Amino acid sequence: MSLFNVFNVTGSAMSAESVRLNTTASNLANANTVSSSAAETYKARQPVFEAALQSASYQRDESVPVRVKAIVESQKPLTAEYNPSHPLANAEGYIYKPNVNVMEEMANMISASRSYQSNVQVADASKQMLMRTLQMGQ
């Protein structure tokens, strides 16, 4: 793998982790929203990553970047709360809350942030190696 391929891989990884951070931020922002029906209630979302294989002739020494395949909604059940005095309560007196687990989202945010930072460090180390290689020719 050449050092130039490292930038392709780390760049794709940073882009994917950025999507993960944005999705987590959206989940956290909507964690306390309520609705009068289950269909209108916000559902937690998670990105799905996949290896971006460029060709069928993949070799072990080739680099494989990552990409976001899709962003899927969580299938966890929503929380129905009986609160007839709430302005958004339905005819039966229920409000619906999202299926966002704030603790899981915070852990996901920390993980995505660390992965992003790690890829930045790999790109920086590769840049320094390229610069040193160029300096050897002087």
Structure tokens at 103: 């603790």
pTM to 2 decimals?
A: 0.84
Separation of alpha carbons 74 and 30, rounded Å: 14
Mean pLDDT of 110-116: 96
pLDDT of residue 122: 93
pLDDT, tens digit, for every residue of 49-101? 998 876 545 566 577 889 999 999 999 999 999 999 999 999 999 999 999 99
Q: Are 121 and 13 in contact (CB under 8 A)?
A: no
Q: Report the C-alpha gap between 14 and 118 in whole angstroms.
A: 9
Residue carrying the six token digits 């959206």: 26
Q: What per-residue confidence (pLDDT) applies to 56? A: 46
Taking alpha carbons only, the member of 23, 37, 16 closest to residue 100 is: 23
Q: What is the mean pLDDT of residues 117-125?
A: 94
Residue range 14-62, pLDDT digits in tens: 999 999 999 999 999 999 999 999 999 999 999 999 988 765 455 665 7
